[in-house]
């Protein structure tokens, strides 16, 4: 949100400094052509399920959840310590207090005595599915970013057609041409200031969330294996210190985090 405000503020400020007025680019008709045209094009190319994923993804574009790996590790170590002292079944009383849905589900499966291999496979499948939905949402915004400038050009041409009807009045022609090109500005601005940045942010968030869940899963699997909490800490801290790609090369899951603080 802050980046969008800075970008729009910079463009508007530059326009005013050049002697222009905000009203010069405040054209409802141009906005309707660009936004409605882009939405229609995206609806044709994307299935309804992807559009719904994109609508849900809007929250992630404007509200950033900052991952705190250290908080996630401390939470896992607390559960691991209790499980080592009183068995993993003792964590059943703590399940309602687990804030993260993914961690709660993984711990619930562990408490129910699900085989370690099955537990890992089930939760890894959930990670993949979640990332798939996030990437589909990103592709919708990416498509919108590709269509918006072209729709803006269509809007400009439509405006010029109307201008041509009044060639007898040279003053009106000049004003009409200026108004016609506002649609192009809207298309290019919508693409480069919102749609494409939103797509990139959702892709980045998908990778970040997957990494976080993989760390949580590794912690739970280590509990099931009966690993000493001190060793679990060393293991998870090593995951945080090294890039995800390095862990994939060595056959281990990448690091991540659970605790989140919301920043506007």
**Predicted local confidence at residue 40, as pLDDT:** 94
Q: Which residue range is the domain that position 91 belongs to?
A: 30-263
> Among 41-50, 136-145, 165-174, 255-264, which stretch is predicted with the lowest mean pLDDT?
255-264
Question: pLDDT tens digit string along 236-257?
Answer: 887 676 544 444 444 444 433 3
Do 258 and 216 form a contact (C-beta atoms < 8 A)? yes
Judge whether 251 lies within some domain.
yes
Judge whether 187 lies within some domain.
yes
Question: pLDDT tens digit string along 184-223?
Answer: 888 998 999 899 999 998 988 888 888 888 888 999 999 8
Judge whether 59 lies within some domain.
yes
**Predicted local confidence at residue 235, as pLDDT:** 85
pTM of the entire predicted model? 0.73
**Predicted local confidence at residue 38, as pLDDT:** 93
Using 50, 70 and 90 to split pLDDT, how confident is the model at 259?
very low
**Predicted local confidence at residue 254, as pLDDT:** 41
Question: pLDDT tens digit string along 2-42?
Answer: 666 776 566 666 655 666 666 666 778 888 889 999 999 99
What is the total count of domains within the chain? 1
Do 163 and 175 form a contact (C-beta atoms < 8 A)? no
CA distance 137 to 14: 33
Q: How many CB atoms lie within 10 A of CB 84?
A: 16
CA distance 173 to 185: 19
Judge whether 102 lies within some domain.
yes
**Predicted local confidence at residue 249, as pLDDT:** 42
Judge whether 91 lies within some domain.
yes
Judge whether 5 lies within some domain.
no
Judge whether 202 lies within some domain.
yes
Using 50, 70 and 90 to split pLDDT, how confident is the model at 60?
confident
Question: pLDDT tens digit string along 176-186?
Answer: 776 778 888 88
Question: What would the two tokens of residue 72 be?
Answer: 């996630």
| CA gyration radius, the chain | 26
Judge whether 19 lies within some domain.
no
Question: pLDDT tens digit string along 110-163?
Answer: 998 888 999 999 999 999 998 898 899 999 999 999 999 999 999 888 888 877
């Amino acid at each position: 949100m802050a980046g969008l405000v800075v970008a729009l503020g910079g463009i508007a400020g530059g326009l005013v400094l050049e002697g222009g007025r905000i009203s010069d680019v405040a054209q409802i008709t141009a906005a309707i052509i660009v936004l409605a045209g882009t939405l229609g094009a995206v609806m044709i190319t994307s299935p309804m399920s992807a559009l719904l994923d994109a609508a849900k993804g809007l929250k992630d574009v404007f509200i950033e959840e900052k991952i705190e790996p250290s908080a996630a590790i401390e939470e896992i170590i607390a559960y691991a310590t209790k499980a080592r002292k009183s068995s993993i079944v003792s964590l059943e009383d703590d399940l309602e207090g687990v804030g993260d849905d993914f961690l709660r589900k993984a711990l619930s499966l562990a408490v129910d005595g699900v085989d370690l291999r099955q537990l890992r496979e089930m939760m890894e499948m959930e990670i993949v599915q979640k990332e798939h939905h996030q990437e589909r949402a990103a592709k919708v915004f990416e498509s919108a970013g590709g269509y918006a400038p072209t729709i803006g050009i269509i809007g400009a041409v439509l405006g010029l057609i109307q201008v041509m009807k009044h060639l007898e009045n040279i003053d009106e022609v000049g004003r009409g041409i200026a108004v016609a090109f506002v649609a192009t500005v809207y298309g290019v601005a919508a693409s480069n200031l919102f749609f494409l940045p939103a797509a990139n942010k959702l892709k980045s968030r998908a990778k970040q969330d997957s990494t976080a869940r993989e760390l949580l899963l590794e912690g739970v699997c280590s509990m099931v294996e009966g690993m000493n909490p001190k060793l679990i800490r060393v293991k998870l801290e090593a995951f945080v210190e090294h890039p995800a790609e390095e862990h994939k090369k060595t056959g281990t899951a990448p690091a991540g985090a659970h605790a989140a603080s919301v920043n506007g």
